[in-house]
Structure 1
């Protein structure tokens, strides 16, 4: 047995039984719920607490990121949706038809993030359409963050259930 076989025996390289996959999943959802429309959520809390310049900074950051998101949606939104759908379809076929565990693992991270992307675009449109600022803007960002966290909790739950099923189905040395 060479050193590579020994390393692969000690470190399980399957996705759902690998600790690094679960750390990565937690980091993805932690980061996703912290950055609301590209704005760190601590800016929202600081604007609520201190007002003044912190409020102006928040509104500027939101305005910049919302305009950027809406521009990307106008210019290449249809292409992004088409490429995203193609990528998700490829992951579904590879993962669940051909039983490739890595594709299943990637799908279970990326698919819920596509909902967050749609939610972000919808929230950006609402902010511009309603001309939100001040307290109303902070409430909208909080609602967006809470919805993102719910999507994340559901995603982590289903990923954990599928991962446990895969680990029990394949056994320790799948």
Structure 2
């Protein structure tokens, strides 16, 4: 065996048959579910359970992240949206029109994360406009997490179906 053949077997670019891709998928969705608007969800549980200083800490970190998201939206929101749409369109075309499996895999990770970003932005805008605090803030963060988890479940299901289809197709053809 030559070195090139050994390296190409070690670094397999067929994403859907690679264990590292599935580990990355699990880590991405676990992190997205835990960090709602940049706030670790264990702070929400602690604020709901203990109140007091934990609730004040939750309000402070949420306020900082909401202000940061709204500032980025005001300053460069159109550019971020345009670049995101461009990259997703490029990945979609490369992956599903030209058949590049790596682009399909990245698209199936990135596209649903766009919905997560949208959920976080809508939640941040509502928190800022209505000045949510206390129990209503906790409720808003919990609802946002629920929607993120729903998007994650659908995304993982679709990715698993597409990955199985790709692996079966390659298995029969190759």
TM-score (norm 1): 0.96
Provide closer, same or farther for how the CA distance between residues 172 and 22 of structure 1 changes in structure 2, counting only shifts above 3 A: farther
Q: 1:77, 1:148 → 2: CA distance?
A: 21
Offset, 1:24: 0.1
Q: 2:153, 2:138 → 1: CA distance?
A: 22
- The list of structure 1 runs, each at least 4 consecutive aligned residues, that deviate by more than 4 angstroms after superposition, is none
Number of the residue aligned with 2:83:
83
Offset, 1:10: 5.7
Number of the residue aligned with 1:163:
163
Offset, 1:9: 3.3
Is 1:125 matched with 2:122?
no
Deviation readout 1:140-165 (Å, 9 max, x if unpaired): 00000010000000000000000000
Paired residues in the alignment total: 174
Q: 1:97, 1:122 → 2: CA distance?
A: 32
Is 1:6 matched with 2:6?
yes
Deviation readout 1:5-54 (Å, 9 max, x if unpaired): 13433664310000000000000000010001001000000111111111
Q: 2:75, 2:82 → 1: CA distance?
A: 14
Alignment of 1:88-127 (within 5 A): 88-127=88-127
- Structure 2, gaps ≥5 residues long: none
Q: 1:8, 1:173 → 2: CA distance?
A: 19
Q: 1:105, 1:166 → 2: CA distance?
A: 11
Provide closer, same or farther for how the CA distance between residues 11 and 18 of structure 1 changes in structure 2, counting only shifts above 3 A: same
Q: 1:11, 1:72 → 2: CA distance?
A: 37
Retained in 1: the 8 A contact 2:14–2:101? yes
Alignment of 1:13-162 (within 5 A): 13-162=13-162
- Structure 1, gaps ≥5 residues long: none
Give me the CA root mean square deviation. Answer: 1.4
